[in-house]
Amino acid sequence: MPTALETELAEKVISMVPNVEKVRFVNSGTEACMSAVRLARGYTGRDKIIKFAGCYHGHADAFLIQAGSGAVTFGSPNSPGVTPGTARDTLLANYNDLESVETLIKANPGAIAAIILEPVAGNMGCIPPEAGFLEGLRALCTRHGILLIFDEVMTGFRLAPGGAQEALGIRADIATFGKVLGGGLPVGAFAAAGEIMRHLAPEGPVYQAGTLSGNPLAMGAGLAMLTAIEADPEVFSRLEQKTAYLHKGLQSALEASDLPFQINRFGSMISVHFTDIPVRDFESAATGNNPHFKTYFHGMLDRGIYLPPSAFESYFLNDALSYEDLDLAIASAGAAMSRNATR
């Protein structure tokens, strides 16, 4: 049974996110991505999807093929329990590598329903899309009748009120959301133009439902969060400035360590990889999963700074962090990795 709060939140999402006319609420980012892929398959009548190595879209079977985040941290990017049949329908491309996508499309003519990706990757550390990558994907999808799914579970309502679609000026066919949207409670959502969403049950044949979807508690929290964001549009530039400040500070603190490192940042997403090659895809990100990361993580923890506990996670700044907090983090990074520290 729908609630008034659900409708109110749906209207708010539609007013903030570009290019969407209808939204369906679920309970997690996993559900949102899983349902978006089913909708894309139902809409196109095709079976296969393309995902990118190192991108994480939740723990549904189809996504546990070279997944990032915890899946790769704990050493099981290809999970046991996922059948070969499911794995066969998930094709794997390399992030920031359009050619790898074109090759897959050529090899599977008329078979690909959707390309799903994190428009700014956060599950192999922060990896921004290089110039032309998203534009190229958009063009390939339009040319081949493939739906482009932006997984905005991390980027949604974080990079801009309209997420990465707004921040980067690229239109996706379906966008998925989670995290921020729930204001701390379990919420996910997927949204698209009415022409696509009308294929969903009960209007259309693609089944999706959930007992707790759209429950008033979660909808209330989401509504409070989006209302707060709307009332304070400066929050995005404030967060970006704080992240740029952290970036600059970490850069000079870590330079003193003589260790190779890379800092990637986009908006309020940032990460440090201890490697000497630019981090632009999963393979390069994996070179930073090494003992230096462990030294850094524990050195920071010992000094009271709790970072994401994986070399494959982005940091996300929140607005409660003060410049004093950031100074403490920067000084702690310098101390944790200094040549004199035991590392």
- List, by residue number, the catalytic residues: 56, 151, 179
- What type of residue sits at position 261? F
Q: Is 310 in the site for ligand PLP (CB under 6 A)?
A: no
Sign, CA dihedral 143-49-95-59, equals positive
Instruction: Give the residue, chosen from 43, 56, 274, 316, that forms a contact with ligand PLP under the rule CB under 6 A.
Output: 56
Q: Is 165 in the site for ligand PLP (CB under 6 A)?
A: no
**Residue 282 CB neighbours (<10 A):** 25
142, 143, 161, 170 from 139: Cα distances, Å: 5, 6, 25, 10
Instruction: Give the residue, chosen from 16, 154, 196, 333, that forms a contact with ligand PLP under the rule CB under 6 A.
Output: 154
39, 101, 213, 230, 292 from 11: Cα distances, Å: 21, 35, 16, 13, 47
The residue at minimum Cβ distance from ligand PLP is 29
Tokens of 227: 């209302």
Tokens of 160: 């801009």
What lies within 8 Å, CB to CB, of 29 at 6+ separation is: 57, 58, 151, 153, 176, 177, 178, 179, 188
Instruction: Give the residue, chosen from 6, 97, 151, 281, that forms a contact with ligand PLP under the rule CB under 6 A.
Output: 151
Tokens of 8: 């109110």
Instruction: Give the residue, chosen from 41, 51, 57, 265, that forms a contact with ligand PLP under the rule CB under 6 A.
Output: 57
Q: How far is the CB of 81 from ligand PLP (least distance, A)?
A: 17
| Contact window for ligand PLP (CB under 6 A) among 25-33, 76-84, 204-212, 229-237 | 25-33
Q: Is 33 in the site for ligand PLP (CB under 6 A)?
A: yes
Longest dimension (CA), the chain: 66
Interface of this chain with ligand PLP, residues 109 to 138, rule: CB under 6 A: 118, 122-123
Based on CB atoms, which residue is closest to ligand PLP, 79 or 241? 79
Q: How far is the CB of 210 from ligand PLP (least distance, A)?
A: 13
| Contact window for ligand PLP (CB under 6 A) among 52-60, 72-80, 289-297, 324-332 | 52-60
Instruction: Give the residue, chosen from 178, 183, 299, 334, that forms a contact with ligand PLP under the rule CB under 6 A.
Output: 178
Asked if 278 contacts 295 with a C-beta cutoff of 8 angstroms, the reply is no
Closest C-alpha among 74, 116, 123 to residue 91: 116
Site string for ligand PLP, 62-101 (x = CB under 6 A): -------x--------------------------------
Closest C-alpha among 256, 342, 262, 241 to residue 299: 342
Based on CB atoms, which residue is closest to ligand PLP, 19 or 27? 27
Based on CB atoms, which residue is closest to ligand PLP, 73 or 287? 73
Based on CB atoms, which residue is closest to ligand PLP, 28 or 275? 28
68, 77, 196 from 163: Cα distances, Å: 21, 27, 20
Q: How far is the CB of 199 from ligand PLP (least distance, A)?
A: 22
Q: How far is the CB of 176 from ligand PLP (least distance, A)?
A: 7
Asked if 65 contacts 91 with a C-beta cutoff of 8 angstroms, the reply is no
Based on CB atoms, which residue is closest to ligand PLP, 261 or 312? 312
Q: How far is the CB of 154 from ligand PLP (least distance, A)?
A: 5
Tokens of 168: 């980067």
Q: Which residues bind ligand PLP (CB under 6 A)?
A: 28-30, 33, 56-58, 69, 118, 122-123, 151, 153-154, 178, 188
